[in-house]
Amino acid sequence: MGKTALITGITGQDGAYLSDYLIKKGYTVHGIKRRSSLFNTDRIDHLYQDPHVENRNMILHYGDMTDSMNITRIIGDVKPDEIYNLAAMSHVKVSFDTPEYTANADGIGTLRILEAVRLLNLTNKSRIYQASTSELYGLVQEVPQKETTPFYPRSPYAVAKLYAYWITVNYREAYGIHASNGILFNHESPLRGETFVTRKVTRAVARIVLGLQDKVYMGNLSSKRDWGHAKDYVKAMYLILQQDQPDDYVISTGVTTTIRDFIKMAFVEGKDEEEVGFIASIDENKFANIVGNKQLELLKKRVGDVVVGVDPAYFRPTEVELLIGDNTKARTKLNWTPEYDLKALCEDMVISDLALMKKEEYLKDGGYRILNYFE
């Protein structure tokens, strides 16, 4: 008999990759999905099995992280060997608009899982993975960030995740639950939600290239992220729960890149690498208050064909400027190594989005020459 896993947030990016990975390992995967007025299972449709199929290895339950009774009932019914708590309102900018809901789903939601395991006497059976995040480091206190770096959250999302991190540690220490935090740095993929920066860029590249869109408006181009591929990162989640002792791990690539450089990388993907150059249209009135005069002057000189715009609407009230993770502990204790570097990740996403736009022929005919000059 294979193991049984319960995944909250199974319809999300990580939920989809993790389900695929665990099913291939012989697990029976149960997932919690929210009811929505439109289908929200696109990412896992290839794994879905009709309820009438015998011996299913993928079973979905309706549920919500804000509903304690529902969470407790599902965990009691499934009695999972492993719980991967991936469900969250995961968009940092949106958390400023919905802070209370974010605290409820992302913070208290984690407590609901832990408390259900305790009340159902599953403390010796069910291991728990908590989806913690590099956003905990926020205004970073150390470079690079590692497991011992102090946290300084900078958004309602990160503050909610801070509670989730510590309540996980507390239940481990108080009740001996095998509960661990994966402190995952940004990870992306062709399945990434369309409003996160990498996917927004790769979709825009595809659409601009194909003449479906004139330009894309971006926010802060100067922040830096340590981006990995979600396929690599779900393997780390699995490894964390296979350890004899629960613990907390940074999962990262150790390389950091600006948003600006990611955009450049995406626009030249696999094509004519001649730089045609330009930057956004700039609303000086809005912009002057946000960047320094020197940068504004530089930007003004560079206005050309406009395909990328900067719109301060995408700026955040408080920003996380620099993330770069030290993954030494994961490499040594989990024997985890990421396979994708940023270039390979970017290629995967651009190619996938181009295919999604169903116009591959255009590229074969000589492609395009677009963008690529910021600084």
Residue 102 touches which member of ligand NAP, ligand F7E, none, C-beta under 5-8 Å by kind: none
Shortest CA distance to 61 belongs to which of 15, 115, 13, 100? Answer: 15
Alpha helices in the chain (DSSP H): 13-24, 68-78, 92-97, 99-102, 109-119, 156-175, 197-209, 230-242, 259-267, 284-288, 293-301, 328-329, 342-356, 360-364
193 is an interface residue for ligand NAP by CB under 6 A = yes
12 is an interface residue for ligand NAP by CB under 6 A = yes
Residues 8-33 as b/e (b if ≥16 CB within 10 A, e otherwise) read bbbbbbbbbbbbbbbbeeebbbbbbb
Interacting residues of 187 by C-beta distance below 8 A, sequence separation 6+:
14, 227, 228, 229, 230, 232, 233, 251
Q: Assess whether the previous peptide bond of 51 is cis (omega < 30° from 0).
A: no
Distance of CA 11 to the CA centre of its chain: 13
* From candidates 4, 6, 9, 241, binder to ligand NAP by CB under 6 A: 9
Site for ligand F7E in 194-213 (CB under 6 A): 195-197, 200
CB 47 within 8 A of CB 261: no
CB of 304 to ligand F7E, least distance (A): 20
* From candidates 64, 269, 348, 353, binder to ligand NAP by CB under 6 A: 64
Instruction: Look up 133 and say whether it is catalytic.
Output: yes
* From candidates 92, 208, 342, 346, binder to ligand F7E by CB under 6 A: 92
Instruction: Check 133, 149, 168, 253 and give the catalytic one.
Output: 133
> By CB under 6 A, how many residues form the interface with ligand F7E?
22
> By CB under 6 A, how many residues form the interface with ligand NAP?
26
34 is an interface residue for ligand NAP by CB under 6 A = yes
CB of 216 to ligand F7E, least distance (A): 8
Residue 259 touches which member of ligand NAP, ligand F7E, none, C-beta under 5-8 Å by kind: ligand F7E
Cα within 13 Å of Cα(171), Cβ side: 28
Site for ligand F7E in 119-178 (CB under 6 A): 133-135
Sign of torsion, CA 62 230 223 298?
Answer: negative
Residue 34 touches which member of ligand F7E, ligand NAP, none, C-beta under 5-8 Å by kind: ligand NAP
Q: List residues near ligand NAP by CB under 6 A.
A: 8-9, 11-15, 32, 34, 36, 40, 64-66, 86-90, 105, 131, 133, 184, 186-187, 193
Q: List residues near ligand F7E by CB under 6 A.
A: 90, 92-93, 133-135, 185-186, 195-197, 200, 218-220, 223, 225, 259, 314, 316, 319-320
Q: Please give the positions annotated as active site.
A: 133, 135, 157
